[in-house]
Amino acid sequence: MNISIIGAGSWASAIADFLSKENKVLMYARNIEDVNNINNFHINKKYFDYLKLSENIKATNNLEKLLDNDIIINAIPTQSIREVLEKIKDRLDNKILINLSKGIELKSYKRVSEIIKELNTNCTYAVLTGPSHAEEVIKKMPTALVCACEDEEVAKKIQNLCSKDYLRVYTSTDVIGCEIGGAIKNVLAFGIGMVTGLGFGDNTKAAIMTRGIYEMNKFAVSQGANPKSINGLCGIGDLIVTATSMHSRNNRCGILFGKGYSLEEACKKVKTVVEGIPTTKALYELSLKEKIELPITKEIYKVIFENSDPKKSVEILMNRDKKSEY
């Protein structure tokens, strides 16, 4: 099978490496140097310079070439999706588009599936998500994911494509829940990283993680998600891996921010896109618009965008009105 991937970042490369064992993979990279490194030397120098990629993986900086294949995987950040796919939207008819990105579009407050639906209603959309550091997948460490698609047969097709050896994929029809879980866990991971940087301990992190799951569930259900989804790989699973690991860019950025680095300095040190930052803004503004109370998200937003004192935000959360846990 021939498969296309939009993007040449760490997760795109890890998925390309996995799929290349039995398929031919064409990756899209804007940078011609990245294209040449993949095609001529079979390495992704920026992310995995120690790993020799399969000769079944090729790269191009011509977006149109990806459209020769029926399965297209999106692996570029959420805030860039509309701009890039706008260029090829009329040629996505009858394609299967598998999304790997996690976030909410800042200017529209839309999930990725909603963006794709606006661009083309004739392609089949699926999201592949869950606790999956690219750095571990590329080393063939056992990983479990969930693929959500409204068409269950397509979800099963992707399950068969992506389940082998060290990857195990479960299916779901709850696209909304899987997208929201993946988006909000980045917000919470930044916040948990921030309290780590401030010097707070495991009790604090566990409190934010647990009450954060409550917020995630509350928001997801308000949007029409199945609450069971948040209890699975796309929610709790992804939050655990993102909030507790130094592989996580959101967690690392939050730690640096908590230690006193400016947001710009922290992002620069992380060196890759920190999806949790724009998603925090989109999520908070959307929660105001829809009158959904998300206290942890609110305080993370205030610290990032209103220069609130992070320790003061922790105090505010600790001194909220007393209530029952559920």
Q: For the segment 182-223, what is each residue's pLDDT rounded down to a tens digit?
A: 999 999 999 999 999 999 999 999 999 999 999 999 999 999
Do 162 and 209 belong to one domain? no
71-74 and 143-149 as β-strands: parallel, antiparallel, unpaired?
unpaired
Q: pLDDT of 6-28, one tens digit each?
A: 999 999 999 999 999 999 999 99
In a domain, 323, yes or no: no
In a domain, 157, yes or no: yes
In a domain, 324, yes or no: no
Cα separation of 307 and 261, whole Å?
Answer: 12
Q: Of 111, 145, 173, which residue constitutes the final position of a domain?
A: 173
Structure tokens at 209: 């993680």
Q: What are the start-end ranges of the H helices in 120-167?
A: 134-137, 152-162
The residue range of the domain holding 49 is 2-173
Q: Of 130, 148, 173, which residue constitutes the final position of a domain?
A: 173
Do 16 and 138 belong to one domain? yes
In a domain, 18, yes or no: yes
Cα separation of 78 and 183, whole Å?
Answer: 10
Total number of domains constituting the chain: 2
Does pLDDT of 115 surpass 90?
A: yes
34 within 8 A of 44, measured Cβ to Cβ: yes
Is residue 102 flagged as an active site residue?
no
Cβ within 8 Å of residue 302, ≥6 positions away: 308, 313
Catalytic residue chosen out of the listed positions 157, 185, 298, 302: 185
pTM above 0.85, yes or no: yes
Q: Of 173, 196, 224, which residue constitutes the final position of a domain?
A: 173
Do 197 and 161 belong to one domain? no
Cα separation of 177 and 194, whole Å?
Answer: 26
- Domain holding 88: CATH number? 3.40.50.720
Q: pLDDT of 48-81, one tens digit each?
A: 888 899 999 999 999 999 999 999 999 999 999 9
In a domain, 326, yes or no: no
Do 299 and 158 belong to one domain? no
Do 274 and 231 belong to one domain? yes
**DSSP assignment letter at 91:** G
- Domain holding 277: CATH number? 1.10.1040.10
